[in-house]
Amino acid sequence: MAWSLLAALTIGAVGVSAQTAAPAEQAAAPTSKNLAAGFNSLPKGTKVVVMPVDIELFSLSAGGIPEPKADWTETASRFFKSALLKEEKALGLVTVELSETDADALDEINNLHGAVARAIAIHHFGNLGLPTKEGKLDWSLGEAVRPIKEKTGADYALFNWVRDSYASAERKAAMVVLALAGVALTGGVQVGYSSLVDLNTGRVLWFSRLARGRGDLREEQPAQETVKALLDHFPVVQ
């Protein structure tokens, strides 16, 4: 899990720098870069299954080593789910919830989404574009998503992957001391990916990436702001 956070921090570094230069969120305006070719909106009344959020929170040690915090993660999961429910209603989505048993059975698909999402962040939004993609959002989870459709009858699935880290007291002290010596250390970073996937084809139709040096999923109001930012340019329902 620590590797996942370190990878996310690396992937999100450019986004955090950009945010420092410009206060607007990375997901502030809808662009074709977030949409697969030929996809613009969701048909009204279409069922969307909301997958359990893949979320984990960490504390950064003085040396910058991420340490998983189970209690923070549990609180963040609760706040994120509540905020997501509000956004679903605001977006006009007809959603389907997975039973706890089905969610456990489909956990590997959530893991697959995390891997694909990180690849999209690197090769579509990052500086390592793949020539074969021609700058298009052209990614898929393949046949792996079929069981979701079979269990729910939905045509689409919404996946969310989030990693958030916070500087420990020791890390903050080290940041102050080294700043006096002209050395800059980073604090926590919030990285999130959200994907809308066609359950008939496995194709990623819409993707959102959030990478920034602020936000706090351990508190209800900031968690709501994070979800709103992550889904800021979700496809319209019409």
- Look at residue 167 in the predicted model and tell me its pLDDT: 78
- Look at residue 177 in the predicted model and tell me its pLDDT: 66
Amino acid at 97: E
Residue 34 lies in a domain: no
| C-alpha closest to that of 210 among 187, 188, 232, 185 | 232
- Look at residue 15 in the predicted model and tell me its pLDDT: 42
> In the numeric block, which tokens belong to residue 112?
């697959």
Look at the block and give the residue holding tokens 């956990």. Answer: 107
> In the numeric block, which tokens belong to residue 51?
């997958």
- Look at residue 25 in the predicted model and tell me its pLDDT: 41
- Look at residue 64 in the predicted model and tell me its pLDDT: 79
Residue 219 lies in a domain: yes
Adjacent-strand bridge partners of 95: 48
Three-state SS at 70: helix
Amino acid at 59: S
- Look at residue 18 in the predicted model and tell me its pLDDT: 33
| C-alpha closest to that of 80 among 165, 192, 4 | 192
Residue 108 lies in a domain: yes
Pairing of strands 156-167, 54-60: parallel
Residue 22 lies in a domain: no
Mean pLDDT of successive 10-residue stretches along the chain, which has 238 residues:
46 39 39 89 93 95 86 97 94 91 93 97 92 94 96 96 85 68 75 97 97 93 96 90
Residue 24 lies in a domain: no
Domain that holds residue 116: 2-13+46-237
Residue 27 lies in a domain: no
C-alpha 145/C-alpha 135 separation (Å) is 25
Residue 30 lies in a domain: no
Residue 167 lies in a domain: yes
> In the numeric block, which tokens belong to residue 231?
């889904």
| C-alpha closest to that of 63 among 178, 214, 176, 174 | 174
* Contact (CB, 8 A) for 80 and 19: no
* Residues 225, 162, 83, 17, Cα dihedral to 10°: 10
Domain total in the chain: 1
**pTM of the predicted protein model:** 0.83
C-alpha 156/C-alpha 203 separation (Å) is 10
- Look at residue 16 in the predicted model and tell me its pLDDT: 42
Number of CB atoms found within 10 A of residue 178's CB: 12
Number of CB atoms found within 10 A of residue 42's CB: 22
C-alpha 72/C-alpha 188 separation (Å) is 14
* Contact (CB, 8 A) for 218 and 72: yes
